[in-house]
């Protein structure tokens, strides 16, 4: 299931992504060869890179990105601007959850969809989807299986935000007490 049409991320040209990915690798090389966060030249490179993307990164983001993704995906993620949708619908919520849970897009697109869900629901969607034992604060819930609709029901109930067209969802497990970290 694709992302809802109106929620698709901004696409930068391949040339722009390639050029910025190469610059991200250059910045990482500078860091790896001893430039620290107080280095003026490094900070100028980072500032110039950040001036070209909607989501700027800090020194630590450049230092650490290679441990979890490629420079190309890191750059694509910087172009994705998540927003709050006041008029989010049930169908769109289920599409977002399905897209993320089934990892149907690129790494950058899945990251964007997860951040979009987090922007629209304050109930830590990532933990609900991937670490339900943490979300429910109950170690016996590690291997529970929730449908996209059930996840949507829990996100709405925990965030106290109900979207248009949402059906009544029976919540099999109690909502955790105390919120999320």
How far, CA to CA in Å, does 137 sit from each of 39, 59, 115, 149, 177?
A: 43, 33, 22, 21, 8
The answer on 95 and 64 residing in a single domain is no
Range scoring the smallest mean pLDDT among 6-10, 92-96, 127-131: 6-10
The answer on 104 and 45 residing in a single domain is no
Q: Provide the domain count of the chain.
A: 2
Share of the chain above pLDDT 90, in %: 73
Helix (H) or strand (E) holding 115: helix 107-120
> Is 166 in contact with 150 (CB distance < 8 Å)?
no
pLDDT digits (tens, 9 = 90+) for 83-100: 899 999 999 999 999 999
Asked, for residue 178, whether it belongs to a domain, the answer is no
The answer on 155 and 97 residing in a single domain is yes
Asked, for residue 171, whether it belongs to a domain, the answer is no
The answer on 68 and 46 residing in a single domain is yes
> Is 45 in contact with 27 (CB distance < 8 Å)?
yes
pLDDT digits (tens, 9 = 90+) for 148-163: 999 999 999 999 999 9
The answer on 102 and 51 residing in a single domain is no
The answer on 101 and 143 residing in a single domain is yes
Residue 135 domain boundaries = 90-159
Share of the chain above pLDDT 70, in %: 98
């Amino acid at each position: 299931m694709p992302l809802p049409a109106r929620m698709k991320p901004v696409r930068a040209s391949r040339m722009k992504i390639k050029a910025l990915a190469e610059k991200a690798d250059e910045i990482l090389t500078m860091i790896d060869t001893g430039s620290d966060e107080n280095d003026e030249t490094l900070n100028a490179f980072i500032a110039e890179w950040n001036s070209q993307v909607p989501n700027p990164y800090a020194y630590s983001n450049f230092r650490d990105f290679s441990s979890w993704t490629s420079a190309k995906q890191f750059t694509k993620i910087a172009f994705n601007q998540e927003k709050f949708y006041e008029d989010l619908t049930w169908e769109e919520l289920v599409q977002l959850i399905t897209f993320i849970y089934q990892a149907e897009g690129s790494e950058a697109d899945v990251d964007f969809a997860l951040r979009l869900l987090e922007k629209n629901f304050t109930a830590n969607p990532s933990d609900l989807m991937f670490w339900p034992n943490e979300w429910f604060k109950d170690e016996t819930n590690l291997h529970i299986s929730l449908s996209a609709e059930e996840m949507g029901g829990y996100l709405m109930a925990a965030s106290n935000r109900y979207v248009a067209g949402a059906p009544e969802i029976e919540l099999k497990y109690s909502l955790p007490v105390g919120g999320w970290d």
